[in-house]
Chain A
């Protein structure tokens, strides 16, 4: 039996507050000060009677720990492709190959080929890249809580940071597809002059706005599905079918202009409909999005965050029990 010197009665001389910073430097491991602003000194834990915890402290804590989410996204991204020979090239290859397959289906097999060069392929690719950004936010975010069980059980932090990290990761994986798309656009114009290419226009400034809306919509929906996945573990399986049907209903494989009259309603009831329409407008025609489309983008981004945030935060205190 190992015996160690007793520390009993040591605390009799330790009347000063425990938070006093007076670490000796003679130890082999020099302790570091923790982020002083991170957690309040006094915390009271009581049964939660309200459906939501106090939101201001929650949002403050979320913001202070954003670096954790950013680094988690970076490291997960790094880990995901460590053992892959092609590494992150797959991020571009996957939607690119899928785009080519859909291009074959839409143009050649269907026999609907028009003399517009690679315009259809360009529309397909930018639609797929953008849709995949949202889809990755949602599907990876939906699993983030159940996959992060050890973190949930052993650390106290705003749980929304985990789906947020997956949203950041999805964005980081989306970014390399943009230069690839631009290259295909320019090459398409060079080899097939009939290809529609937008010239330099200030309407490209809409792209960051559209991406923020897509990211927020994806993150908001990820919060909904992440919560559902805690209660029903087959949610993710269902989600794979939902996203596939959703893509067919979105203006990815077809042009938004093909809808007329009441049919255009389909664009607005689809959470990604307005954003994908705006994407096509800017990247293919060089046009700025219509006012109603901008409103649709904003509506879905804000409502997804509000509904998803409420659903997730009101239930996140049960996650440690349900995991």
Chain B
């Protein structure tokens, strides 16, 4: 990693020209830099995308019926190292699309995302899990899917199982026999057992019962205290106000505002016109 120091300030920059010829150096204190990001894609309006339909269309010289969706529109955002950023917004605001783009799962249509650090994602529960296999097997599978080595995940299997606090013997039973809460607890435990520089969470803190939620928050605090950068997408506004130091409000692909979590949450609730009902703050 090449570094250079700005002559006019003490700011250090990371030269990313070896990754992208057009990218400007990125300040070293930033974990994520999003520049003018747009993501749009076409969705097929056909009930089924089949070869048969494609041949029929071609024979009739018809075009496939598609609709263009602008999921993210010209978003610019800097996220410093060690910050906990909350993202709020209605369904379809582009929150999950933004997370997937930062993780490198979706490609930008325009603009650029520069990430400085290793990323771990918890965008959905039980990614990589096979319901027919035991919890122990799924810990290994989930860990490997997240990019860990087999030795790393095997050395921590018991600890992860203990953190998930499954009832006695359940760890060796097929995951399909688990309740949804147990399933969520196990997948959350696998995701937070890593040491990413940047952790992306999408509604993951709603896993498990009250006791496990408290444990999850404790683990999140531990991650935060270690100066990890965390991005949290949540409809549970208490999560955003309590864990985050900054928040953004997204609506229909655009960032409407950025600021202190309480202010953003207030603006968002006013927009929704639901007031500060307790239900808005609960993990739903």
- The 9 tightest CB contacts between A and B, nearest first, are A14-B82, A14-B227, A11-B82, A79-B132, A232-B51, A4-B242, A156-B104, A44-B19, A234-B50
Q: Tell me which residues across on chain A come within 8 A of B192, comparing CB atoms.
A: 29, 31
Q: How far is the CA of A154 from the CA of B109 in the complex (A)?
A: 19
How many Å lie between the Cα of A15 and that of B27 in the bound state? 13
| B228: interface (CB < 8 Å) | yes
| Contact (A32, B245) CB under 8 Å given A4-B217, A27-B219, A156-B104 | no
Taking a contact as CB atoms closer than 8 A, the residue among B1, B49, B140, B218 that contacts A42 in the complex is B1
CA distance A11 to B29 in the complex (A): 11
Contact of A39 with B147 at beta-carbon distance under 8 Å, contacts A1-B282, A155-B121 already known: yes
Task: Provide the residues of chain A in CB contact with B162, threshold 8 Å.
Answer: 28-29
Chain A residues with CB under 8 A of B116: 41-42
With A9-B245, A14-B82 already in contact, 8 other A-B pairs whose C-beta atoms are closer than 8 Å: A5-B242, A32-B155, A32-B156, A42-B114, A44-B20, A44-B113, A75-B130, A150-B124
- Asked if B225 lies at the interface with its beta carbon under 8 angstroms from chain A, I say yes
Using known A-B contacts A1-B282, A44-B114, determine if residue A7 contacts B104 with beta carbons closer than 8 Å.
no
| B23 x A44 contact (CB < 8 A) | yes
A35, CB-defined interface residue at 8 Å: yes
Q: Which residue of chain A has its CB nearest to the CB of B202?
A: A154
B31 at the interface (CB under 8 A from A): yes
Cα distance A31–B189 in the bound complex, in angstroms: 10
Option from B49, B52, B118, B159 in Cβ contact (under 8 Å) with A19: B118
Minimum CB distance partner of B146 in chain A: A155
- Asked if residues A151 and B128 are in contact (CB atoms below 8 Å), the reply is yes
A83 & B238 in contact (Cβ 8 Å cutoff): no
Give Cα A21–Cα B194 distance, bound, in whole angstroms.
11
Q: Are A47 and B133 in contact (CB under 8 A)?
A: no
Q: Is the CB of B132 within 8 A of A82?
A: yes
Minimal Cβ-Cβ distance residue in A for B96 = A153
> How far apart are B204's CB and chain A's nearest CB, in angstroms?
11
Out of B52, B145, B261, name the residue touching A155 (CB < 8 Å): B145
- Counting CB contacts under 8 A, is A94 at the interface? no
Say yes or no for B177: interface residue by CB 8 A criterion. Answer: no
Report the minimal beta-carbon distance from B274 to chain A, rounded to whole angstroms: 14
Q: Please tell me if A231 contacts chain B, counting CB pairs below 8 Å.
A: yes
B214 to chain A, nearest CB (A): 8
CB distance from A11 to the nearest CB of B (A): 4
How far is B215's CA from A76's CA once the two chains are assembled, in angstroms? 32
Please state if A234 and B51 are interface contacts (CB–CB under 8 Å): yes
Assess whether A65 is interfacial by the CB under 8 Å rule.
Answer: yes
Please measure, in the bound complex, the distance between the C-alpha atom of A65 and the C-alpha atom of B146, giving whole angstroms. 10
Q: Are A32 and B195 neighbours in the complex by a CB distance under 8 Å? A: yes
Confirm or deny: A260 has a beta carbon within 8 angstroms of a beta carbon on chain B. Answer: no
* Residue A85, interface by CB 8 Å: no
B215 pairs with A28, CB closer than 8 A:
yes
In contact, B108 and A45 (Cβ under 8 angstroms): yes
Q: Which of B127, B189, B198 has the most CB of A within 10 A?
A: B127
Q: Could you pull out 22 A-B pairs where Cβ atoms are within 8 angstroms?
A: A5-B221, A7-B225, A7-B244, A11-B227, A18-B229, A20-B227, A24-B226, A29-B162, A29-B163, A31-B195, A32-B156, A32-B194, A33-B152, A44-B20, A44-B23, A45-B101, A45-B104, A82-B132, A154-B121, A155-B128, A156-B104, A321-B41
User: B278 near A: Cβ within 8 Å?
Assistant: yes
Chain B residue nearest in CB terms to A235: B51
Query: Smallest CB–CB gap between A49 and chain B, Å?
Result: 11
Q: Is A46 an interface residue (CB 8 A)?
A: yes
Q: B residues within 8 A CB of A72?
A: 141, 144
B-side contacts of A67, CB under 8 Å: 144, 149-150
Q: Are A33 and B195 in contact (CB under 8 A)?
A: yes
Q: Could you tell me the distance between the alpha carbons of A15 and B224 in the complex, rounded to whole angstroms?
A: 13
CB distance from A10 to the nearest CB of B (A): 6
A17 cross-chain contacts in B, Cβ below 8 A: 28, 81, 117, 197
A153 to B147, CA, bound (A): 15
Whether A63 sits at the interface, judged by CB under 8 Å, is no
Cβ–Cβ contact B152 & A41, under 8 A:
no
B172 interface hit (Cβ, 8 Å): no
Q: Does the CB pair A153–B105 fall under 8 Å? A: yes
A317 to B108, CA, bound (A): 10
Q: Determine the distance from Cα of A103 to Cα of B54 in the docked complex, in whole angstroms.
A: 40
